[in-house]
Amino acid sequence: MAAAMAVKGKVETEEVSMFSIPAGKTYVIDYYGPYEKSANAYKALDLYLHNSGLKHKAPVIEEYITDPGKEPDSSKWLTRICFFAE
């Protein structure tokens, strides 16, 4: 697991390292709900790739779009889950 953010330029320290994700096919699902129940979204993406004959490749990206500190209703929390495939 890693915390990541997009940056311009190069950043290298002992605590931080850079990596690139090459261009390719990305499959995205927008999951609304509490984080602890997001497993079904992962299962749905995994099943879609499998049924489409696609091979999943790392990494998986989870973007937390909604700030739980500003939106108390967990049914409105948006997490964008991205799978890469070849």
**64-80 pLDDT tens trace:** 999 999 999 999 999 99
Mean pLDDT over the full length of the chain: 90
State pTM to two decimals.
0.81
User: Is the pLDDT higher at 86 or at 4?
Assistant: 86
User: Is the pLDDT higher at 17 or at 37?
Assistant: 37
Report yes or no on 11 lying in a domain. Answer: no
Predicted pLDDT of residue 1: 64
Pull the structure tokens for residue 48.
Answer: 């879609």
Report yes or no on 38 lying in a domain. Answer: yes
Is omega for the bond preceding 59 within 30 degrees of 0, making it cis? yes
Number of domains into which the chain is organized: 1
Please give the residue range of the domain that contains residue 73. 25-85
Report yes or no on 30 lying in a domain. Answer: yes
